[in-house]
Amino acid sequence: MDMAAATLRKRPLSVHTAVSNGNGNGFGVGHGAQEQGEPVSPSARLLEDFYIVVVIGIATPVNLPAARAGIEAQLIRYHPRFRSIQVKDASGNMRWVPTTVDLDYHIIYPNLDDVAVARDPDRAVEDYVATLSTRPMDKSRPLWEFHMLDFPTSEAAATTAFRVHHSLGDGMSLLTLLMACTRSAADPARLPAMPSLPTRTGAIWERPRPQRPRGPWRSRFFATILFLRDPRTLFERANQEPGQKKRLVHRALSLDDVNFVKNAMNCTVNDVLVGVTYAALSRYYFRKTGDADTSKEIRVRSILLVNLRPTTSLQACVNLIESGKESDVKWGNELGFIILPFHIGLHDDDPLQYVRKAKKIVDRKKSSLEVVFTHLASEVILKIFGLKAAGAIFHRMISHTTISFSNMIGPVEQVEFCGHPVVFIAPSGYGPPEALTVNFQSYVNTMMVNLAVDEAQFPDSHELLDDFVESLRLIRGSA
């Protein structure tokens, strides 16, 4: 199976495109297809070197026929971008053009060292996923892949690494897509149960806001682009060369513990997770540096991604797809961001102080229009200065911060993906110039913390994961 798949994977790809003219006739590239394809959005064009990787543990060995059938019947059908490529039109604009999808190029069985797998299967999975950050994708075919690691680890019977280019969608839209392709493990006839979400029927900027000073966040945004950068710490990326390998690691935390702290402190899950991250980075910093001045506090900043879409239920998305209106589902990149201060300091006498600080800062940020402003500013900069200059500005701004941070909500019950019971979901990615990306993902009764780290800078990334576990334990104990 491995050798056959590897042979298929190396075959030259023949791309066939077809765009309907409304009468059922198709036109290949070079016959007006470029003008008919939907334009690639400004947000997607700015994410040229950004990729999302979702590591999924499953409870059974891989059933390849079932996986192929499910991916073809649901994933490719549901999302037009999964059957499209980016093509430049006569005016030089990039457009999405439909193409024929050959699953032999998108479902990959890698050849791994049998000795390494037998010695440490967990490490073999981790090492393989890390190599994906150094392998570019072939842009002559749709930009997604499933890598099947069909051997047991300490966490699952098999592992799948789903890699997708960020231009196909942001983390929230892709997670929604994956969940739309799953079914409840308890009742495969229905969609998985999702947690109730705060209802937002309109755009994010339409929600009521308290009357308070808006603060100088606009000036700080432009100052970050121009000159304002974080102080140098061990979290700042030491090597800014492109193509540095990123290692993706994860650890399960107790969602019950997170909810306990949330209820005890009358805050949100996100407040708790930001506070736990403050605490974990602080523990790691003072241990690694040996700094004896535990009274000091260092402020670095994170790019916190925020979903701009109205709240839509998973069932509503699937209903649109089933009725042939998949184009009405907002799959793409609908994100703004907030520049969120992160405090590095020790509060061993009162670990809840980490959460209090997080809540205070996040509340202040949520009451502003910073997330909308940054989204619109990115599009205006791209329109005025063009892709190359806008990309450089975007990269410069991110490189002046220290961390990327996000938090996503998953199903509250076990799901099946293409007939395979899912044990865990661990999304992360690579591309941002920071050395550290932190992502949280809930699933059933766990909260997975996922780190993407510069491999050379964080050779002890599992120690940092230990700090997240210990930080939540201390905060929960204090609550």
Per-residue pLDDT of the chain (479 residues; tens, 9 = 90+): 344 344 334 333 333 333 333 333 333 343 343 345 788 877 777 777 889 999 999 999 999 999 999 999 888 887 888 999 999 888 888 899 999 999 999 999 999 999 999 999 999 999 999 999 999 899 999 999 999 999 999 999 999 999 999 888 777 778 878 888 889 999 998 888 887 755 444 443 344 444 444 455 556 655 665 556 777 888 887 766 666 789 999 999 999 999 999 999 999 999 999 999 999 999 999 999 988 777 788 888 887 766 665 555 555 666 655 665 556 666 555 666 778 888 899 998 899 999 999 999 888 876 667 767 777 777 777 778 777 777 777 777 777 788 888 888 889 999 999 999 999 999 999 987 888 999 999 999 999 999 999 988 899 999 999 999 999 999 999 99
Q: Tokens 């900043």 identify what position? A: 301
Q: What are phi and psi of 430, to 5 degrees?
A: -150, 165
**Cβ atoms of residues 234 and 434 within 8 Å:** no
Q: Look up residue 56 and give its amino acid.
A: I
**Cβ atoms of residues 57 and 250 within 8 Å:** no
The CA distance from 150 to 183, in Å, is 22
The CA distance from 237 to 453, in Å, is 9
Under DSSP, the state recorded for 446 is E
Structure tokens at 183: 């079914």
Helix, strand or coil, per DSSP, at residue 175: helix
The CA distance from 411 to 442, in Å, is 7
Number of neighbours of residue 151 by Cβ within 10 angstroms:
18
Question: Which pTM was predicted?
Answer: 0.84
The CA distance from 229 to 115, in Å, is 45
The CA distance from 250 to 55, in Å, is 9
Nearest Cα to Cα of residue 331 among 313, 309, 346: 309
Q: What are phi and psi of 104, to 5 degrees?
A: -60, -20
Nearest Cα to Cα of residue 421 among 148, 110, 156: 156
**Cβ atoms of residues 414 and 186 within 8 Å:** yes
The percent helix, strand, coil of the chain (3-state, each to 5) is 40, 25, 35
The CA distance from 172 to 332, in Å, is 9
The CA distance from 471 to 469, in Å, is 6
Which CA distances in Å does 37 have to 75, 107, 360, 428, 460?
Answer: 20, 26, 45, 30, 46
Give the residue numbers marked as catalytic.
Answer: 166
Please report the pLDDT score of residue 293 as a whole number. 79
The CA distance from 154 to 163, in Å, is 22
**E-strand spans in 102-211?**
107-108, 144-149, 158-165, 182-184
Please report the pLDDT score of residue 23 as a whole number. 34
Please report the pLDDT score of residue 212 as a whole number. 46
Task: Write the CB contacts of 44 (distance below 8 Å, at least 6 apart in sequence).
Answer: 166, 167, 168, 332, 333
The pairing of beta strand 335-344 with beta strand 144-149: unpaired
Please report the pLDDT score of residue 307 as a whole number. 63
Structure tokens at 446: 């766990």
Q: Is 139 exposed, middle or buried (0-12, 13-18, 19+ CB in 10 A)?
A: exposed
Determine the Cα angle at 238 with ends 237 and 243, to 5°. 75
Please report the pLDDT score of residue 203 as a whole number. 43
